[in-house]
Amino acid sequence: MTQATKPGRLPGSPSPATADGLGGLERQRAWVEVDAAAIEANARALHRHLRTSELMAVVKADGYGHGALTVARAALAGGAASLGVATLAEGIELRRSGIEAPVLVLGGLSHEQDLRSCLHWRLMPTISRLQEALLCQSLASGQGRPMALQLKLDTGMARLGVDWEQGPRLVAAIAELDAVRLAGVYSHLASADLPPGEDGGLTRKQQQRFEAVLASLRQQGLDPGCRHLANSAGALSNPGLHYDLARVGLALYGHPPAAHLGGVVALEPAMALRARVTLIRELAAGVGVSYGHRFRTQRPSRLAVLAIGYADGVPRALSNQLEVLFRGQRLPQVGAITMDQLIVDATDCPALEVGAVVTLLGGEGGEEITPQEWSNRCGTIPWEILCGFKHRLPRLGGSGGPAAR
Rule CB under 6 A: which residues touch ligand PLP? 58, 106, 188, 231-233, 247-250, 257
User: Which segments of 105-261 does DSSP mark as H helices, in order?
Assistant: 112-121, 130-140, 167-175, 202-219, 232-237
Residue 160 or 378 with smaller CB distance to ligand PLP: 160
Least Å from the CB of residue 341 to ligand PLP: 31
Residue 246 or 324 with smaller CB distance to ligand PLP: 246
Q: Which of these is catalytic: 60, 64, 186, 310?
A: 60
Q: Rounded distance, CA 148 to CA 275, Å?
A: 45
Q: Cβ contacts of residue 176 below 8 Å, gap of 6+?
A: none
Q: Which of these is catalytic: 6, 186, 253, 291?
A: 291
Q: Decide the pairing of beta strands 367-369 and 357-364.
A: antiparallel
Q: Cβ contacts of residue 326 below 8 Å, gap of 6+?
A: 346, 349, 351, 352, 356, 358, 359, 364, 365
- Select from 380, 138, 359, 391 the least CA-distant residue to 269: 359
Query: What b/e readout covers 165-188, taking b as 16+ CB neighbours within 10 angstroms?
Result: ebbbebbeebbebebbbbbbbbbb
Q: Does residue 60 have an active-site annotation?
A: yes
Residue 106 or 305 with smaller CB distance to ligand PLP: 106
Q: Does residue 390 have an active-site annotation?
A: no
Residue 154 or 364 with smaller CB distance to ligand PLP: 154
Least Å from the CB of residue 342 to ligand PLP: 28
Residue 9 or 188 with smaller CB distance to ligand PLP: 188
Residue 189 or 304 with smaller CB distance to ligand PLP: 189
CB 91 within 8 A of CB 105: yes
Least Å from the CB of residue 193 to ligand PLP: 7
Q: By CB neighbour count within 10 A (0-12 exposed, 13-18 middle, 19+ buried), where does 17 fall?
A: exposed
State the Cα angle at 38 between 33 and 44, rounded to 5°: 155
Least Å from the CB of residue 129 to ligand PLP: 17
Least Å from the CB of residue 287 to ligand PLP: 43
Q: Rounded distance, CA 98 to CA 82, Å?
A: 14
Which residue has its beta carbon closest to ligand PLP? 249
Least Å from the CB of residue 39 to ligand PLP: 13
Least Å from the CB of residue 261 to ligand PLP: 10
φ/ψ of 157, rounded to 5, equals -95, -25
Residue 66 or 188 with smaller CB distance to ligand PLP: 188
Query: What b/e readout covers 325-355, taking b as 16+ CB neighbours within 10 angstroms?
Result: bbbebebbbbbbbbeebbbbbbbebeebeee
CB 120 within 8 A of CB 96: no
User: CA 117 → CA 109, 134, 136, 149, 224, distances in Å?
Assistant: 11, 16, 11, 13, 24
Question: What amino acid positions are annotated as catalytic residues?
Answer: 60, 291
